[in-house]
Copies of this chain bind each other. A is one copy, B any other.
Amino acid sequence: MSSLWNVSTDKFINEKESIMRNGNVYQIANGYMGYRGTLDEFGPDELVGITLAGIFDRVGDAWREPINAPNGGFTKVTLDGIEISALTTTVKNHKQSLNLENAVFERETDYESQGKILKIKSSRFLSADKPNLGVVKFSVSCDKAAKVSISTGIDYNIWDLNGQHLLKLSPEKNNEILLVHGVTNELSKKVAVAEAAEINFGKEAHLIKDNRNLRVIDLDAEAGKIYTFYKYFTVFTDNDPIKVSVADAAIMSVTEAKIVGYETCLKNHNAQWAKKWAYCDVIIDGDDEAQQALRYSIFQLLIVAPVNGSGNSIPARALSGQVYKGAIFWDTEMFMFPFFLYTYPEKAVELMRYRVKTLDGARRKAQTEGVGYSGAYYAWESQETGDDACTYFNIGDPNTGRDLRTHFRDKQVHISGDIAIAMWEYFKLTGDDSLLLEGGAEVILECARFYFSYAYFKKDKNRYEILDVIGPDEYHERVNNNAFSSMVAKATFEIANATVNYLKQNHPTEFNTLVKKINIADELPMFIEAADLLYVPLPDKKTGVIEQFDAYFKLKDATIAELKSKMIHPNEYLGAGQGLAVPTKVIKQADVVMMLNLFKDRYSTEIKKANWEYYEPLTEHGSSLSACAYAMVAAEFGNIDFAYNYFMKTAKIDIEAKYHVYVGTIFMGGSHPAANGGAWMTAVFGFGGVRATAEHVIINPRLYKKWNKLQFNMIYKRDRFNIKISQNDVEINADSSNKKNHTFLVSGQAIDCIPGKHDIIKLG
């Protein structure tokens, strides 16, 4: 780790585990595709992966997952006839780094072979300007004269977790362009990768061998001379809005890149990155470790934000591979979306459009799950159609080798409400109702409709209850009246009612059209009743603790250490029907505390403190989503040291790559964009104390003691602000391009932020 804008290492550890983790840490991406942080000469065994957003495939009964493209960035070198690779050659020096400023990956390796030192230096980026484009700069030099042979082109040996997704892979050479194209197994979607190179030395030949489509450059290298070349690759699939074939599109596009040239490609790429950071950077003054971890977290979110207009979202392991089926979970709305909503709304709306696009899938799930429900029951693991990729046996049991029946798919009903809440937040904080009109309102009403069809009424208690669910704490399946899920359902009814009121008043024609389209008029009054009578567990009158679900308090007391001591296999899953945590109070992740954070305006600080203190020792943090909720709530009730610990836990997860990579028998290594979003939320919402409502922006700072300053930008109702929080004051700069005045409540003081105005508010 070298600087606040850079992640680097000067070691190469020739072990699978290290290569896998570095593949995650050093990955680059541009929303269209991810490229794992592997070396140029690596292949599928080293988990080279160019994972594409929004295109999925299934082989037989195996898990459906995103496809990995052939690797257009491949290059390997031979020295005097001996193949050079970090896996087999003596590495004298090695350095690899990731530039956070512009997402450029660089490696530099000195190899020793046959008494000669061969230096390889390369850098690559996936264009933030042209989403289909990747660019590589590659240099080689030898300290002594030598015969050097460079093989570069497209490697179509592909790392796949669950079966070979690309079939009929055909290598071609078309003029100077290398091409590999194939089709997906399930839906016969076409995929093409083209490569062009700018090489001004040696003698080039074409070679197709070992599933590689290569140009081979033989070179009598002079001692000490650096030979540099550039290569460009483009990836196109049937998902792209193109009018020509994917092969032609790839060829045309890569040709264009080569004509434009390396420097211009990089310049255009950098310009996009400058904009991203201008919107989204957060500065922590006084704590470089926190600064770097947070910036890396933000970087992770920026590289995977969906391409505008793509209708894609961000999978739980982003574009770091095929883990978790490349599926979109609640992670996106609850953990990543706020970052985009506050800093980069054009990406936030894209995430929401993905949910509009997949509404029919959610309807299908509602109709077919269990006894069949109405409305929209969003997929727990959502792919391009919104049908659920989650299986009923989603975790393998290492003790028996059997797949465990899990209820993630059929019982984690809070997903629909999570989406409705995000949809409404978008409207509230942007003031932009176009999303509502373009399907957002329909999503909201269908989510409420789903909950009504799912809810039961308890006559002797005069209340609706949400039964038989899994809350965020997945170690306890099929519970009744889970505080989080029930509150989410209640909020969904409230939001549905607010949507109805808003549309009636502001868009009566569209409202009537919608009500007719989905035939929901008769149900709307029920949503009002349900919002009123839906039961959410209340804080205990004495202790303030909210019971996570019915009879949770009756579960066995146990410590996490006790459970771990009983494990037969180290990767054993603690949940599902018979996991060790199931009969105990030990929970996987923040659940009541997550609810208190999400609905922070409904509970007092005392209640938050009481619940945090009750649940914190019981939480195993078996999910990377957990730490940020504990961090934010701790910040809110004033335990800043605890908040900081949990903040660092969430912020460092990907930069340090210290996570479990197996749950049960399932490989789940990769990046953690939800935790990255959690890091941003903890910084801005937690320590910054920021909370925007429909009426104003609240700032109640509670900086960590080491921090001199916390500085960030935000967008509120389409106007831009730069906020600097110190231990003593809050500085608000309203952008001069802003259209309106906005009220900020800074530690209770109302500030009227006028466009172009600069306010400094002293803190008590």
Contact = CB atoms under 8 A, between A and B. Distances in A.
Given A405-B577, A467-B467, A578-B576, A456 B453 contact: no
Contact of A457 (B405, B452, B459, B551): B459
A619 B150 CA distance: 67
A370 B467 CA distance: 13
A452 to B, nearest CB: 7
A402 B578 contact: yes
B405 A578 contact: yes
Contacts of A457: 456-459
Interface in A366-407: 370-371, 374, 392-393, 397, 399-400, 402, 404-405
A550 interface: yes
A370 B551 CA distance: 6
A393 to B, nearest CB: 7
A671 interface: no
Contact of A392 (B370, B392, B568, B583): B583
Copies in the complex: 2
A434 to B, nearest CB: 33
A582 interface: yes
Nearest to A477: B577
Contacts of A392: 583
Contacts of A374: 460
A465 interface: yes
Contacts of A453: 460
Contacts of A576: 577-578
A453 B461 CA distance: 9
A223 interface: no
A526 interface: yes
Contacts of A467: 456, 467-468
A38 interface: no
B393 A459 contact: no
Interface string A240-264: 0000000000000000000000000
A568 B452 CA distance: 43
A467 B467 CA distance: 9
Interface string A458-500: 1110000101100000000010100000000000000000000
Contact of A578 (B370, B458, B568, B578): B578
Nearest to A410: B551
Contacts of A402: 578
Contacts of A393: 583
Task: Please indicate which of the listed interface residues A404, A456, A458, A526 has the most CB atoms of chain B within 10 Å of its own CB.
Answer: A456
B568 A400 contact: yes
A374 B460 CA distance: 11
A285 to B, nearest CB: 51
Interface string A170-187: 000000000000000000
B400 A582 contact: no
Contacts of A578: 397, 402, 404-405, 576-578
A98 B467 CA distance: 55
Given A399-B400, A582-B405, A583-B405, A480 B550 contact: no
Interface string A508-535: 0000000000000000001000000000
A577 B407 CA distance: 11
Contact of A370 (B405, B460, B550): B550
Interface in A549-586: 550-551, 568, 576-578, 582-583
A400 B400 CA distance: 8
B456 A371 contact: no
A400 B399 CA distance: 8
A480 B371 contact: yes
Nearest to A578: B577
A592 B164 CA distance: 45
A536 to B, nearest CB: 15
A399 B568 CA distance: 11
A392 B578 CA distance: 12
Given A458-B457, A460-B453, A371 B550 contact: yes
Contacts of A468: 467-468, 480
A452 B578 CA distance: 30
A578 B399 CA distance: 13
Nearest to A549: B371
A228 B162 CA distance: 80
A60 B459 CA distance: 42
Interface string A288-300: 0000000000000
Task: Please indicate which of the listed interface residues A400, A458, A467, A578 has the most CB atoms of chain B within 10 Å of its own CB.
Answer: A578
Contacts of A397: 578
A457 B526 CA distance: 15
Interface string A341-371: 0000000000000000000000000000011
Nearest to A583: B405
A554 to B, nearest CB: 8
Nearest to A459: B457
Nearest to A547: B371
A322 to B, nearest CB: 25
A676 to B, nearest CB: 34
Contacts of A577: 405, 576-578, 582
Given A371-B550, A457-B458, 5 more contacts: A371-B551, A374-B460, A399-B399, A457-B459, A576-B578
23 contacts: A371-B550, A371-B551, A374-B460, A393-B583, A397-B578, A399-B400, A402-B578, A404-B578, A405-B577, A452-B460, A453-B460, A456-B457, A456-B458, A456-B467, A457-B458, A457-B459, A460-B526, A468-B468, A478-B478, A576-B578, A577-B577, A577-B578, A577-B582
